[in-house]
Structure 1
Amino acid sequence: MFSLWLQSVRWGYARMVALRQFLYNKKIKKTFFYKKPKVISIGNLSVGGTGKTPLTIYLAKLLAKHQIVAVLSRGYKRKSVDFKVINGLDSALTAGDEPYLLYTYFVHNPNVLIAVCENRTKGIDKIMEYKPDVEVILLDDAFQQLSLMPHLNILLTTFDQPFFRDHLLPVGRLREPRKGASRADIILVTKSPTNLSSLKMEAIKDSMQPYYTKSIPIFFTHIIYHNPIMIGDGKADKLPIVLLLVTGIATPLPLRNYLETNGHKVTHLIFPDHHWFTYADILKMISVFNGLSHTDKAIVTTEKDYVRLIAHDWIKPLVQLPIFYIPIEIGFLQETKEIFEKRIIQTVLS
């Protein structure tokens, strides 16, 4: 019975998605194209956890060497509304965790502006009013924004949960049918193993091919974990063996696997994606940490969780304990980084 209910909800959702796409395809709903600035959309077919934020940081660093760049995000779960340029008075609460994390990366870079707005076309217009010399706008999580026609549409899908093996909500994690991949200009298979063979790459490309008609470059990326950074006044830069891992992200298992592969004994507290930590959560973390039967131990978390934690005064009792976050970035397999970057630069300079 429950399975039948899921299938009926899936059918209704599929009809709603199809109707929306039909209205844009038939130009009943308007699509906007900006000759200037150049617009690059970053997104996925599934809900969360594909690595959009590390890619957005990567692209902003790359493009800011050449041009004035703005990043426009919806600012999911922020405690503010409408258009906002993120500044030093903001936090993850007012900006959203991902935009605020981006802001911390580029706070001292005059060539990068971070903004949020629920309406992307309004957001682009407001950015150009605020800073008319912006030449490139990166749209974070905008693959389903059919009201905008970007100059480049980048689709992300993970190695472990590729879109071609997934199903439409609520049966699976897809926001739209697999054939939506046909709108992509570039596909990145993220969170791939570093030892991925050429044979396996070709097999994945072959599995994707039925869902698009044009020749699309496909790149494979992996996660690069950097040295842990201690939160608070401590100076340690090495994690002890025993760890309490605290995560509120969509796919925390890669980090846990990384820590365990490197010999750490991990106890894992899992919270929902984009979770706003409460004082009760902090007390729970402290209680679980104190219950770990080892003297040499620490708490470790992700960058996104870190910016949400520091948004609250009640983090103060937590930073009395050894607590770290681990920065990450994306790396390209098979020396394809230069090819990818050349495609990006060609798009914004053409």
Structure 2
Amino acid sequence: MFSLCLQGLSWVYGRLVSLRNYLYKKQIKKSFFPKKPKVIGIGNLSLGGTGKTPLVVYLVTLLAKRHVIAVLSRGYKRKSIGFKIINALESVCTAGDEPYLLYQRFGNNPNVLIAVCENRVKGIAQIMEYRPEVEVVLLDDAFQHLSLTPHLNIVLTSFHQPFFKDHLLPFGRLREPRKGVSRADIVLVTKSSPNLTQATMDPIKTAIQTYHTNSVSIFFTHTIYHDPIAVGSFKGAKLPTVLLLVTGIADPLPLQNHLENNGHKVTHLDFPDHHWFSDGDVHTIIHLFHRLGHPDKAIVTTEKDYVRLINHHWRKLLCVLPIFYIPIEIGFAQEAKEAFDRKIMDVVHA
């Protein structure tokens, strides 16, 4: 009965979202298309967990070598409102975890500006007022923000949880019907194996193309896990055998599998996506860590969780413990990387 209720609610939700999309498609509701700067939208059809942040990092690294660029995010769950340029005076609380992570990565690069604003149209206008030489704006998590039309739309879907096998909220995790992918210019199938065969890729490409009215560029990517980085007073170069994995992201299972496949014994403390850690959470983390019955042990987390976990008054409590975060990046097969980069540059230079 509960399942039937959720399906009914999903049907109502889908009708409302489809009506909204139809009004924009028929230009009954207006969408702004900026002539300058070039705008690249990055998003998905699902609630999250597809790997948008590593893609944003990849694009910033690619473009900032020769262009002045900005990343504009709403700053999900930040404890502030309105337009902000992220700088040294801001915190993870006022910026949001993903913008703050990006600022920590690129804050010293004069070609990169990180900003947050709930209204993307106003946000772009204020970016250009603040810094008119910006050539490209990367819109983070903006696929459903139809009041603005990007020059290029990139949609991400997870290899293990593709949108074409999912359902609308609240029965599933889709924000809009599957046919919404038809607005995408590029679809990235993320978190796949680095050694996919053509026989594995072809059915997925066919399934994606089913929901797209035109031919869409489809690329498969994988996650590259870098060496763990020690935080605080502990400077061990090697990740210990026994780990307390602390996460507040949408899809932590790939990281847990990566650690276990590399011989670690993992106890997982799983919080909701974008979770703001509390004093009670930190005491729970410390208590569970001390209960791990092994001398060779550590706390490990993601880079996105690290910025929310460490940048608080309890930093001193955590940093006396062995604690690591694991940076990740998005990886392409070489031919796919070259083709993807060309598509990005063709838009930027058009």
Global fold match (TM > 0.5): yes
Look up the match of 2:66. Answer: 66
Alignment of 1:249-268 (within 5 A): 249-268=249-268
Measured in 2, the distance between the counterparts of 1:135 and 1:168 equals 36
The aligned length equals 350
CA RMSD of aligned residues (A): 0.9
**Once the 2 structures are TM-superposed, how far is the Cα of residue 36 of structure 1 from its aligned partner?**
0.5
Measured in 2, the distance between the counterparts of 1:28 and 1:217 equals 29
Measured in 2, the distance between the counterparts of 1:262 and 1:311 equals 29
Look up the match of 1:314. Answer: 314
**Once the 2 structures are TM-superposed, how far is the Cα of residue 334 of structure 1 from its aligned partner?**
5.5
Q: Verify the 8 A CA contact 1:277 1:309 in the aligned structure 2.
A: yes
Look up the match of 2:145. Answer: 145
Look up the match of 2:130. Answer: 130
Q: Verify the 8 A CA contact 2:242 2:297 in the aligned structure 1.
A: yes
Structure 2, unaligned runs of 5 or more: none
**Once the 2 structures are TM-superposed, how far is the Cα of residue 4 of structure 1 from its aligned partner?**
2.4
Measured in 2, the distance between the counterparts of 1:116 and 1:26 equals 29
Query: TM-score, with normalisation over the residues of structure 2?
Result: 0.98
Q: Verify the 8 A CA contact 1:93 1:311 in the aligned structure 2.
A: no
The yes-or-no answer on 1:284 pairing with 2:291 is no
Look up the match of 1:80. Answer: 80
The amino acid that maps onto 1:233 is: S
Alignment of 1:201-220 (within 5 A): 201-220=201-220
Measured in 2, the distance between the counterparts of 1:261 and 1:89 equals 40
Q: Verify the 8 A CA contact 2:310 2:318 in the aligned structure 1.
A: no
Q: Which moved more, 1:153-162 or 1:331-340?
A: 331-340
Q: 1:206 to 1:334 in 2, by over 3 A?
A: farther
**Once the 2 structures are TM-superposed, how far is the Cα of residue 120 of structure 1 from its aligned partner?**
0.4
The yes-or-no answer on 1:111 pairing with 2:111 is yes
Q: Verify the 8 A CA contact 1:45 1:176 in the aligned structure 2.
A: yes
4+ runs of 1 displaced by more than 4 Å? Answer: none
**Once the 2 structures are TM-superposed, how far is the Cα of residue 204 of structure 1 from its aligned partner?**
0.8
SS of corresponding position for 1:71: strand
Alignment of 1:176-255 (within 5 A): 176-255=176-255
Query: TM-score, with normalisation over the residues of structure 1?
Result: 0.98
- Identity among equivalent positions (%) equals 69
Measured in 2, the distance between the counterparts of 1:233 and 1:58 equals 30
Look up the match of 1:301. Answer: 301
Q: Verify the 8 A CA contact 2:234 2:321 in the aligned structure 1.
A: no
Q: Verify the 8 A CA contact 2:75 2:116 in the aligned structure 1.
A: yes
Q: Verify the 8 A CA contact 1:30 1:147 in the aligned structure 2.
A: yes
